[in-house]
Structure 1
Amino acid sequence: MRRSLLNPILAFGALIILIIGISYVGNTIEGYVPPQKPQEITSISIGDTVTTGMDVVDDSKIRKVAFLYHPDYLNELFQTGNYLQAITGLLTGSIETPVSEFIGANISPQGIAQGFEGPGFLSVQGQQLVVTAPQTFVWGYKTTYTVGIKTSNGLEIRTGGKNGKVVNVISESDINNNTVPHDYVSVSTTKKWYSNADTGDYIIMDYSLNGFNDGRNPITPDNIKKFFGQSVVDYMENYPSGSPIMAYSGSQSETTVASYSESLGSYPEYGDAARSYNAKQFATGWNGTIIPPKTSSSGKLNIGYQPIADPNATSTGGYATHGVCPAGRSLRGAVTSLGLGLPSGMAWGELSVPYGVSPTEGIKIYNSQNYPIKILMWTEGSDSSTVIYTRIVKLG
């Protein structure tokens, strides 16, 4: 009887010693093996843009440990609803480290992005993987991405710029909507360019967003609409490469901080109807332009003006875009009354837009304020009675 009681006691004691020994060995091994870093378990790269509902953790990258070393992991897996991993750990004796050991703000125990609005981005804070929620304003810069280069073998498509990665080579006969980007350059334009280009010539076909103010990774053309919406794509199409692009605006207010107006006046020798048209085109070219703090922007691309004969316009072949100067004075007056400097490409005096300067692409405004601004321009009236209005709005 005494012997039968002794055996279970001895067995229990041996089990305790075994567990202590295993724990000691496990802790010793863990002391020699560096802990897994949060960036080693991600499903996307650190810095990539994230929206709610995205899975940011790759479970297959998480190390497994012996169940006896970390029995607490089993309970944690059950509590967070990771039943499959828990059961697998029981059956195999090797248990997956719970995701909760690696994650922090805005990530669920299942590794799903949650708890924020707008496009955040994946980052590491301390030893935790987190999703950084977007600031009120997020902006980047329109940057050349997809380039077509004429080669002896056909049209070579590269991503990442002229010296980027070759992703395809297309024969001239295969240039169509399915083989080349066509948001910025139409297929017919690409075909015409190719037939006239020399070997080695290149054409810019698509753009990415780079250099974000919050440090996130660049966004390729195919993801801009996904993360920021069609309106951002539309805005990008209207502005030159290198322009700052407001990709995201959170909850905000708009406050008028400067305004100015200028009358067109009458110069019949230049044709007041044509001058009025050019003034209205100038307003169209600048209306809606958003300039983030400490950045510069021009007006829109592809704004057409009516050339007007002028014997003084010797540098531009005897023609000028009269009518843009009163509009330029309106814009200049609003900009400088806000305390910003004279826009580059502009001049003081009546001739606000010098001969040879593009009224929209050739002028840049630097926003020295610490908040984004939006330029609103419009006209009222016609011919010599046209009045050009400019209003500058503070965002945020």
Structure 2
Amino acid sequence: MFVLKSIFIRLKIKHVWDFMSSVIHRSSLKIIIALIIIVSFLHIIAFYTPMEYEPDYLVEMAAVPVGSTVFSGDHIIDSNAMKYPILGNLNFLQSSILNLDVLGVISAIFTGTVSVPVSHISQTGILANGQVTSFDGPGVLVYKNNKLSVLAPENFLWAKSVPYTYAVKTEKGIDIVQNNKTIKAIEFDQIKNETVPHDFVSADYIYKWAKNGKIGKQMVIEYGLSNFSDNRSLVSPEKIKEYFGEEVYKYTCSYPLNRPVLIYSHDYKEENLTTAMSVLGSYPQYGNAGRESNARQFVKAWNGTFVAPKSFASGNALVGFTSLRDVHATGGAAAHGVCPPARSLRAAVMSAGFPLPIGMNGAHEAVNYDVSPSTEILVYNPYDYPVKILMWTEGSGTGLRIYTKLVKLVEN
């Protein structure tokens, strides 16, 4: 009797379960059918519903200004900040339903407004959640065809150093000025590493300049990066290291204003353009030891110099030279020893089709008098591809051999 009762209960439970499953199945089917009908209806209406957002407002809604440097994972767009009436933008609600954005749909129903889907306001490089897609290197936010996009960096990205921070001489010391605004006033005895930017110009040099300069005189003490090859916006000094790394920051600090700086490179190869060599030789009247030192300094100043397409480049501004006695030179001294490496550099660039560098001549004494061998010799790259200058030495003494190689940077 107990067994029969147990079987009866199980059959009853199974019957109830089957009934409930049937109801749930029919309900789910109805929900799916209803959603299909709603989406289809909205899809039809969407053809007759224009977008209501203004392009200028779209640009303002971006987390950073157009032209900014951005990276993978950065949050660029908050579509929730752009809400419009449902009746005028049913296609936005349709997108929320298709993307299974339950919270977005519920919010739209209760508030009567709907968020603009990211896919409607972005073209490439931005995910549905408003974040930048995955890629290597520094990207850039652009606005094109009435949409925001993030572009990954090209094979080569370069810029030029530009003035950013100035020291302006005052009666009591200096003012630190950025964007035509004084951000700090410093008295003479307070000009030190702790109070002034000193990665580009030393605090000691700033102090001496301030003590001897005229009131109102100004000097650039920090560089930014601008005139990018992809037209992105200026990057301030404090962001250079953060965005592009320590080496780019050091290079920017080391080279004169308005010189090209290679910011980023990937997926490329190096092809040798030309190689040239010269020998130091002996001129004991100037002191061969000093000449050798200056020759090595010239190589140090120019080795690794980047020359962007259609641009001038010079050597490292932080490399100094020794003045050697010469009664025929202005001031009775000159940096003898720089002409042999200059001849090597001249031969390499001109055999590659570059013009004669500014500050040089075609004679044996290749560097013009009163020209800084590092910063006032200008090499011009007339081609559409970037070039790197490599210089090195072999041997020592008067037999020192000085080599120059031009390397062409080519996309793979």
With normalisation by structure 1, the TM-score equals 0.84
Q: How does 1:224-373 map to 2 (within 5 A)?
A: 224-313=240-329, 316-373=330-387
Conserved 8 A contact 2:46-2:91: no
- Of 202, 212, 231, which residue of structure 2 is paired with 1:186? 202
Find the aligned partners of 2:52 and 2:137 in 1 and give their Cα distance.
42
C-alpha separation between the residues in 1 aligned to 2:285 and 2:188?
A: 50
Aligned in 2, Cα 1:258/1:226: closer, same or farther, shift over 3 Å?
same
Q: Secondary structure at the match of 1:134?
A: coil
Question: Which residue number in structure 2 is paired with residue 9 of structure 1?
Answer: none
| Gap runs ≥5 in structure 1 | 1-22
Cα displacement (A) at 1:269: 1.9
Please give the residue correspondences for 1:1-396 in structure 2 after superposition, counting only pairs within 5 Å. 38-59=58-79, 61-66=81-86, 68-74=87-93, 76-77=95-96, 80=99, 83-152=102-171, 155-160=174-179, 164-172=180-188, 175=191, 177=193, 179-313=195-329, 316-396=330-410
- CA distance in 2 between counterparts of 1:158 and 1:289 reads 30
The one-letter amino acid of 1:49's match is T
Equivalent residue of 1:116, what SS? coil
Query: 1:60: Cα distance to partner?
Result: 5.4
Secondary structure of the 2:127 match is coil
Letter in 2 for 1:46: V
Q: RMSD across aligned C-alpha pairs, in angstroms? A: 2.8
Give SS of 2:268's match: coil
> Relative to structure 1, is the Cα distance of residues 24 and 392 closer, same or farther in structure 2, using a 3 angstrom cutoff?
closer
Alpha-carbon distance in 1 for matches of 2:97, 2:172 = 59
Does structure 1 conserve the Cα–Cα contact (< 8 Å) formed by 2:55 and 2:146? no
Label 1:267 to 1:34 Cα distance change in 2 as closer, same or farther (>3 A). Answer: closer
Q: Does structure 1 conserve the Cα–Cα contact (< 8 Å) formed by 2:50 and 2:88? A: no
- Structure of larger gyration radius: 2
- TM-score normalised by the chain length of structure 2: 0.81
Q: Which stretch shows the higher mean deviation, 151-160 or 105-114?
A: 151-160
Please give the alpha-carbon distance, in whole angstroms, between the structure 2 residues aligned to 1:304 and 1:261: 23
CA deviations on 1:76-109 (whole Å, 9 max, x unpaired) are: 3355475544432233222222222111111001
**Residues 138 and 243 of structure 2 are in contact (CA less than 8 Å); yes or no, is this contact kept in structure 1?**
yes
Letter in 2 for 1:166: T
C-alpha change, 1:81 and 1:281, in structure 2 (3 Å) is farther
The residue type paired with residue 129 of structure 2 is Q
| Native 8 Å contact 1:153 1:169 kept in 2 | no
Distance change >3 Å, CA 184–CA 72, structure 1 → 2: same
